[in-house]
Each structure stands twice: as structure tokens, then as C-alpha cells.
Structure 1
């Protein structure tokens, strides 16, 4: 009987912090087998959990040393509770990569993504006190999001990375990922893979965002190669008028920073308690011997 494939590592977020780029880098590595599409959302009860383990296993092709998936919804605990517990039940020795970003900049990018995707969200002036504002703050609350995972898995199973390092020094950050996963430090097209950019979103017709949530869209992604799927997106958006999203005001940014300060302080303390230091362009864990993880 063939082995039932489950991920060795899951990129759990944060949304708009480089998860798409990291997923694409991993897809290009000869030793990493990524899921057929990004954001399987299998461990989210309201999404694909009911499709069962068989469906999850089928999302990975055999022949690789390490398997990975990336679903930023796994670190939206208020919206999708119970995810760490489901992962612990199915993959008790799972490793995790959590990309973080300046929390206010992440929130603004998240809001821009929602606007350009046609979501029904308030105008910037109406954000304070809204449910949308609360969701943006919750997703940027990194300590709050990661604490349930740390309660279930050992600290050495986590790698914390910074979006800013992925942008500035992708090759150095990828070396850290290779060390964490125990694979060859050989990456294709390092520094050339585009993120899930606002420019792309702004030109895609709104019907695309509804269609991509369907099972037919999932099947299409599996049938087409990644380059072919990317070309299809370009063809669909060719000649389309670009939508715009209003930027955050300075006052809103200050308000959000103040509201996130306690969580940010707690997150930094969690990193220190776990033996993490900023080195080599990334957050890296200490080995059981107390030395920094290999690059």
C-alpha cells in the first residue's frame, strides 16, 4: 500500500506577509512536494475539513523528501477556531513556518486585498469600530494567533520569518528555510518570483474571485501547470480597468499601532523565551544544543 502523504511542514501565515512567494519558492525546490494548490484550508471546519483525510492526502504527489502546504487562514483563530487542535490530531510532529510583517502594514495590505477582491468592506473613514477593523487587528495579533500552536507543539518545530527579509534578502532567508527543513540549499529562481501583488488583483474581473472558491476552480488548478495558470490569469485581466484602494490615513495607522502594541510586546517576549534571535535575515530557532539553527 502506498504511503498516505501528509505535510511535514505547514506555512500557517500571516496573510499578506509573503506566504504566496514562499509557497512558490518551495514549489520550485526539487525536494519539496507542495500541495496541488495553495491554501487548502483543510483544517478549517467551515471549509474543507468535511472532505476528509483521503481528500487531503490526494493533494500531494509522491516522490519528494519533504511535503508542504500553505494556508494563512490557519492563523485567523477568531474566524476559524480549532485549527491547531485538528493539526495536532492528524500530524503531531508537524513543523510550522509563520511569516510576520509590520502589523499595521500587514493590516493595510489585507484591507487593500479585500477592496481589490470586491469584498464588502467599509471605507477607510468608517473602519474604526467596524467588524472589518477588528478582523484586521486580530490577524495582525501574532502572539494571539501563535499561542495555541505553541501550547501543542515543541518550540523547535517553529520557524518565524519576516516579510521584509523575504523582500530584501530572499536567498539568505531561503537558506534558513533549507536548514530548518533539512534539505539542500538549492533554490530555483530565487529573487524572481512575484508575490500575490495588488497590481494583479486590481485587474482581475470580480467574477474570478467568486469562481476561485468553487471546486471547478480547484480542479482547473490541478490540471494546469503553474506557468499555464499564471498565463491564464494574465489573459483574463488583459485590458481590464485597474481598481483602486484608498490608503490608510496617518491617524488610523497610529490608532492601529497603539491597539496592537500589547500583542506585539507579548510576541517579542515569546520569541525571546523560545530562544529565538534575529540572525541571517530571519528568526531562527536554537537547536537542542543551544546553538543557532543551521543556514
Structure 2
């Protein structure tokens, strides 16, 4: 059975959707029709990620709908892939590797799931034992802005809209600021230390979200060298924005609460960015 060649492990709200679009524009790269397979986190941290079957099912359904409604010649291979992802009997390694069987022979294969950044040492070691030659890609964004963007996504998921009061929005933001996963998704130092401990610096590529925006072409050249492919193969517009989230106004006192819990992450990130 096929195996992945690379993983993009996040960070959430740091540019992984842009990366997936770039990957899908390159003839040498293959990624699944469903962007986030949510495999290792659901396998090793099931109690923390009980929503993953619903995620796979809903996104697979959207992919099937898109293919069915936007093509005169339906691509049945994509539909079969989406059905496999959306209706698994058992989410195990056989299921996971079957996803990559859909890739054309000779392509570099990979997937991106930001929740993989939250895996612990023992989980990453299990991934390493199974796929020792994996290359790991990690995109970082200012941890405060990343946290606020992630919380805005939660606001949308929890039904906040134009009728919501500013007080309710701010109280929700403050309640999220201290959540474990909001803090740890921005703990880039810990994430890098864990993954490089098991896979080594040579198989780990850190990227900055701001660099993707400022000079996406240059970052794609760096990415191509890391994966061993031709950078000229990317045909998508690297300057195009994707996945712009819904706007919510958040008051400064709520933002300050997020800053308080992200302070350590922010200090590390600023040192890292200045050293680049």
C-alpha cells in the first residue's frame, strides 16, 4: 500500500489552505481531496478529538457535491476517494494508506492536518516508526494573531452573528484565551522540539506565514528544494488569498486576555523571527 511522503502539521490559521492550493497546482505533488484527514490525532488522542469523523464526513460530502455540480465529465476517482475518506468502517493505518493509493504513480504524496502539531512525543515516535522517511512542514504565524483567528472560527462555529452583542463576543473570546489547544497551537518552540527530536532538523521545514504573503514564490522554491521537486511546476497564483475568515470585532480588553496567555509564545516567536 502507498504511504505519505510528507506531512504539513500546521499551524492552524497560518496558511495551510494556501499551501494545499499550491500543492494541488503542481503535477508532481498529490494531496487528498479532503484537505485534513485528521488521522493521527484521532488515532492517538481520540478523547480530545471526538469531532474528527464528522469533519471527514462533512468535507468528503462537500467534495462530492463540488465534483458532481461543477463538471460535465464527473471524475469518479475523486468521488471514490471522497467516499473512502468520508465513510470509513475503521480509521486505522490500512484506511490511511488506502487514501494514498489514489495518487498517480511517481507523485510526491502528503496531507496536512494542523492538529498534528498537538501530538505528544509518544505519538510522534509511533509516526516515526511507521513512516521513518517522512518530511515535516510547519508554518508559523504571529501567535496572538493566530489565536485570534482560531477563536473567530470558533465564534462562527458557535453561531455568533450580527445579532450577537459585543459583550457576548468578548466574553467568549476571553473564555477561549486560556484553552489548552489555543495556547499549545502557538507554542511553536515545543512543537518544533518534539518533531525535530524524532525526525531530525534535516527533515523538518519551518516556514513563516508572513513570508508566504510577502514572497510566496521564494517560499515555494524553498519548499521545492525540501521535497525534491521542480519549483516551476507550481502554476497557481502565489499572491492570491484563500480562506478569508468571517470578520468579528473583538474589543481590546478581550485581545489583551489573549495576549496574556500567548505572551511566552509571542516572546519566543519574536526572537525566532528576528534571528531569521
* TM-score for both structures, normalised by structure 2: 0.70
Counterparts of 1:163 and 1:18, CA distance in 2: 6
Give the one of 234, 239, 253 matched to 2:255: 253
Gaps of 5+ in 1: 200-244, 279-295
Q: Does 1:195 find its partner at 2:235?
A: no
Distance 1:83 1:267, change over 3 A: farther
The match for 1:117 is 157
Structure number with the higher helix fraction is: 2
Q: Is the 8 A contact 2:151 2:173 kept in 1?
A: no
Distance 1:260 1:132, change over 3 A: closer
Distance 1:119 1:88, change over 3 A: farther
- 1:96 match: secondary structure: strand
Counterparts of 2:230 and 2:200, CA distance in 1: 24
**Which structure has more RCO (C-alpha within 8 Å, separation ≥ 6)?**
2
Counterparts of 1:184 and 1:43, CA distance in 2: 29
The match for 2:22 is 25
The match for 1:58 is 98
Q: How does 1:101-116 map to 2 (within 5 A)?
A: 101-116=141-156
The match for 1:166 is 212
Number of aligned residue pairs: 223
Give 1:250 deviation, angstroms.
Answer: 2.6
Counterparts of 2:157 and 2:204, CA distance in 1: 31
- 1:93 match: secondary structure: coil
Distance 1:26 1:126, change over 3 A: closer
Distance 1:89 1:267, change over 3 A: farther
The match for 1:220 is none
The match for 2:164 is none
Q: Is the 8 A contact 2:35 2:111 kept in 1?
A: yes
Give the one of 14, 32, 56 matched to 2:11: 14
The match for 1:262 is 264
Distance 1:247 1:137, change over 3 A: farther
The match for 2:193 is 147
The match for 1:91 is 131
Give 1:75 deviation, angstroms.
Answer: 1.2
Distance 1:54 1:193, change over 3 A: farther
Give 1:189 deviation, angstroms.
Answer: 1.6
- 1:63 match: secondary structure: coil
Counterparts of 2:12 and 2:19, CA distance in 1: 12
Gaps of 5+ in 2: 47-51, 54-87, 161-167
Distance 1:63 1:119, change over 3 A: farther
